[in-house]
Chains A and B, each alone.
Chain A
Amino acid sequence: MRNFITILFALFPVIFISFAGCRRSAETSLTIAGSTSVQPFAELLAELYMQQHPGVEINVQGGGSSAGIRAVQNCICDIGMSSRPLTPEEQNLQQWTIALDGIVLIVHKHNPVRNITLEQLQDVFSGKIRNWRALGGPDQKITVITREEGSGTRGCFEEIVMHGAHFAADALVQDSNGAVREIVASDPSAIGYISFGLVDERVSALAVNGITPSESTIVAHTYPLARRFLFLTNGEPDALARSFLDFVLSPEGQKTLADEGLIKAVP
């Protein structure tokens, strides 16, 4: 019994700290790190917040979703950013959905193909299916366009669609959503993927597994390539982090994100 109490006493600070989250020293600076897909939006929000709250310093860094999650777990940053859902082991973190996004498959306007399955997508992007005929289209070679290594959109696409398969080596590589859209708009044989907010009338969006990408299917998460942009904290956020989170989820913050092409998390 005595031993048990000693152990409990010894463990007490550990338990206490893990419940309390991270100890912070500075009250005027905030470090945010993680997903490169979320990073540009977080930077924009941080800039707006700093304009409204002079004296506050918000530092936004990339590194990827997993790195962001690790960083916030180890108290290296105050808020982590993730564009992928948390695994069961990561559920100890507090999460806020700040916005939603969908990755949309786009083809040329004159392409008769309207729907594609996730399996077909993997085959197309890994180079197993090379002709549109296999997808119910014209007898024409498929020009596959992907994003550059390291891009968050590419990372998310790899996770949902590729499942470890490699992109075809002869796939064209472009370094922005806009460039992918330009090529697809002019090449009748092209297929590419871009963020939902950047789809326009010059290209045609494919349904995936029969579900058309739209605000409602992305919010309901029935569209298979939907993703949530998450902010994560280790335990309760402190005053400054809480204030920034409130700003992000406020109508003003949400409108900023919607203007950038994302879907509001708070309608």
Chain B
Amino acid sequence: MREKLFEKILLLCALSAVTALFLIALFIFYEGLPLIFRIGPANFLFSSNWAPTRGHFGILPMIVGSLQVTVLALILGGTLGLACAMFLAEFAPRWSVRILKPLIELLAGIPSVVYGFIGVLVLVPLIRRTLGGPGFSVLAAGIILGIMILPTVIAISLDALNAVPLSYKEGSLAVGATRWQTLYRLTLPAAKSGIIASLILAMGRAIGETMAVIMVAGNALIIPKSPLEPVRTLTSNIALEMGYASGTHQEALFATGVVLFIIVALLNTFALLALRKKV
């Protein structure tokens, strides 16, 4: 009897999370879809002219911008994070793991506005002085996001690498493979699904991050042709303009949210499918 009760309570909790997601999605679509259909999905998605108070709603630069920044962050943060996880899993002395792992997890606790602030004060002037351009750029946003996704990539990849049974490695080492050969040929492929999962989660964080990106990306309405040019992402577009937006302008920001929602859902679906097929 009591067990049944707890079961029901837990079910209710589980449902409330799903309900919240459902209600949020419903609300975003309800507010944003009418505008998309009024001006036509093609006009909305493939026009570069964004001037909502004059009736132009093209978000192509933001879609491209979001993807560029996310890809750059994944290249930087993914490579670095994976290398770090490999080191911690296979090569690092035990005492250093005990120090390094909590420190890396601490990185996840730093508020994004702090990352953005450091980006504005250190990274942006550095890029401006050494590489040119305004400093506020795809590169700055990519680097900051790359650092922000490190803890996610490292923690989950490390767990995946550690979860590979010891007997596999012992077998490999016993037949004469070096530690690097074992890691590269055996442990990494065995941990592949976990590593991909870490990259998916990191991608979610990168594409959704707003505050730090607004601060360092420059938010210009262009499709960047070089990593040194400023960029505006979908999330920044919403946060930047929502303060004063009303009427169709506000609808346009919700419509931006619809596109972001769909992109994230699609990416997650593809990633999950890829995972299921190859493991």
Binary interface profile of A, 40-69, with partner B (CB < 8 Å = 1, else 0)?
000000000000000000000011100000
**Chain B CB within 8 A of A151 CB:** yes
- CA A152 – CA B246 in complex, angstroms? 13
On whether A62 and B220 interact (CB within 8 A), knowing A143-B134, A175-B240, the answer reads: no
Q: Which of A165-173, A217-225, A230-238, A256-264 has 4 or more CB atoms under 8 Å from chain B?
A: A165-173
> A172, B246: Cβ atoms under 8 Å?
no
**Chain B CB within 8 A of A92 CB:** no
> A171, B220: Cβ atoms under 8 Å?
yes
- What distance in Å separates the Cβ of A162 from its nearest Cβ neighbour in chain B? 12
Binary interface profile of B, 108-121, with partner A (CB < 8 Å = 1, else 0)?
00000000000010
Q: Which of A152, A169, A179, A186 sits near B221, CB closer than 8 Å?
A: A169
Determine the interface band of chain B, counting residues with CB < 8 A from chain A: 20 to 34
Binary interface profile of A, 148-182, with partner B (CB < 8 Å = 1, else 0)?
11111000000000000010011111110001001
> A173, B220: Cβ atoms under 8 Å?
yes
> B134, A173: Cβ atoms under 8 Å?
no
Chain A positions near chain B (C-beta within 8 angstroms): 36, 62-64, 143, 148-152, 166, 169-175, 179, 182-183, 186-187, 189-190
**Chain A CB within 8 A of B146 CB:** no
**8 A Cβ contacts from B206-248 to A:** 214-215, 218-222, 229-230, 232, 239-241, 243-246
Q: Which of A62, A63, A64, A150 sits near B241, CB closer than 8 Å?
A: A150
On whether A172 and B222 interact (CB within 8 A), knowing A62-B244, A143-B134, A150-B244, the answer reads: no
Chain B positions near chain A (C-beta within 8 angstroms): 48, 50-53, 120, 124-125, 128, 134-136, 214-215, 218-222, 229-230, 232, 239-241, 243-246, 249
Contacts of B246 in A (CB 8 A): 62-64, 150
Q: Write 16 A-B pairs (CB below 8 A) sorted by A numbering.
A: A143-B134, A148-B240, A148-B243, A149-B50, A150-B53, A150-B243, A150-B245, A151-B244, A170-B221, A171-B220, A172-B220, A173-B240, A175-B214, A175-B239, A175-B241, A179-B215
Contacts of B52 in A (CB 8 A): 149-150
- CA A64 – CA B229 in complex, angstroms? 32
> B218, A173: Cβ atoms under 8 Å?
yes
- CA A170 – CA B243 in complex, angstroms? 22
Q: Which of B120, B241, B245 sits near A182, CB closer than 8 Å?
A: B120
> A170, B230: Cβ atoms under 8 Å?
yes
> B136, A172: Cβ atoms under 8 Å?
yes
- What distance in Å separates the Cβ of A36 from its nearest Cβ neighbour in chain B? 5
Contacts of B120 in A (CB 8 A): 182
On whether A173 and B243 interact (CB within 8 A), knowing A166-B51, A187-B134, the answer reads: no
> A150, B222: Cβ atoms under 8 Å?
no
